[in-house]
């Protein structure tokens, strides 16, 4: 069975959506591990509750003078994932890690990329910027991770309405609900697409927009 490693830095509700989808068989994969950059976050508790191993790798120099990229690669090498999922991970993935897993790292972003993406667009800042720009719609995007922040090929997006009375928090909650459906669906499509191309069937992953 294919395996997934998730990176998260916070609450881990998307991580939980992946765990639940794998458990129920909606994703044809197992979750091999969680990598995080900090202690004390809810994502770690979720991993422990689910019996999933955790590696906490803070940025900067590591024990034994290993660098950040080396420590990430070491952890990934332990689990040898078929797919790496960034689900609310707040660090830039070093280029050497991206090169080691070409096309196999995906990220979920809480806006309709290419708008409201890139350096500095994370968490509530994204939703605040959408409201300040007066947009009537927002949404979420899953894309492949490349060396250019938030710029990799888009796999799928879901659109949600922005209401006149929205605050960043109400908009974030509406988007997050859609993220929890989108992320497992994209993972399933990718893994099933690979499975059928391995068996000679050329089904491609989906890239349509939904609302
Ligand atoms: C999500 O909005 C995700 O799109 C973004 O960070 C947030 C993480 O939320 N990258 P959670 O930790 O999955 O609850």
Q: What tens digit of pLDDT does each residue of 10-27 get?
A: 999 999 999 999 999 999
User: What is the DSSP annotation of 39-89?
Assistant: SS-HHHHHHHHHT--EEE--SS--GGG--HHHHHHHHHHHH--SEEEESS-
Q: Write out residues with Cβ below 6 Å of ligand 1.
A: 8, 10-15, 87-88, 108-110, 176, 179
Residue nearest to atom 8 of ligand 1 (CA): 88
Q: What is the pTM of this model?
A: 0.92
pLDDT of residue 200: 62
Closest by CA position to 146, among listed 206, 99, 81: 99
183 Cβ neighbours under 8 A, 6+ residues apart: 14, 17, 18, 85, 87, 108, 142
- Mean pLDDT over 122-129 rounds to 96
pLDDT computed for residue 202 by the predictor = 42
Question: Among all chains, which residue has been given the structure tokens 């992953």?
Answer: 205
* Residue 191 near residue 2 (C-beta atoms within 8 A): yes
Q: What is the pLDDT of residues 144-169, one digit of tens each?
A: 999 887 889 999 999 999 999 999 99
Q: What is the pLDDT of residue 62?
A: 75
Q: For residue 205, what are its two tokens?
A: 């992953």
Q: Ligand 1: which of 8, 13, 46, 88 to mutate, most ligand atoms within 8 Å of CB?
A: 88
The overall average pLDDT reported for the chain is: 92
Q: How far is the CA of 108 from the centre of ligand 1 (A)?
A: 7
Contact partners, residue 73, CB within 8 Å, separation at least 6: 96, 97, 100
Higher pLDDT, 97 or 206: 97
87 CA to centre of ligand 1 in angstroms: 6
Mean pLDDT, rounded, for 63-76: 90
Q: Which of 85, 108, 150, 171 to mutate to test the pocket of ligand 1 (most atoms within 8 A of CB)?
A: 108
pLDDT band for 211, please (50, 70, 90 cuts): very low
Which residues are marked as active site?
109
């Amino acid at each position: 069975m294919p395996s997934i490693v998730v990176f998260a830095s916070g609450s881990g509700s998307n991580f939980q959506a992946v765990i639940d989808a794998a458990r129920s068989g909606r994703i044809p994969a197992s979750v091999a591990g969680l990598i995080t950059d900090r202690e004390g976050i809810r994502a770690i508790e979720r991993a422990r509750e689910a019996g999933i191993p955790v590696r906490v790798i803070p940025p900067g120099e590591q024990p034994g003078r290993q660098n950040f990229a080396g420590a990430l690669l070491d952890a990934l090498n332990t689990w040898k994932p078929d797919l790496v999922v960034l689900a609310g991970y707040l660090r830039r993935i070093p280029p050497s890690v991206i090169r080691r897993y070409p096309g196999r790292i995906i990220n979920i972003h809480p806006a309709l990329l290419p708008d409201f993406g890139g350096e500095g667009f994370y968490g509530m800042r994204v939703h605040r910027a959408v409201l300040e720009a007066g947009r009537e719609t927002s949404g979420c995007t899953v894309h492949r991770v490349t060396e250019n922040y938030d710029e990799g090929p888009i796999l799928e997006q879901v659109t949600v309405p922005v209401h006149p009375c929205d605050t960043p928090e109400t908009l974030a909650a509406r988007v997050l609900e859609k993220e929890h459906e989108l992320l497992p669906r994209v993972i399933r499509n990718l893994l099933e697409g690979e499975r059928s191309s391995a068996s000679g069937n050329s089904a491609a992953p989906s890239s349509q927009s939904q609302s």
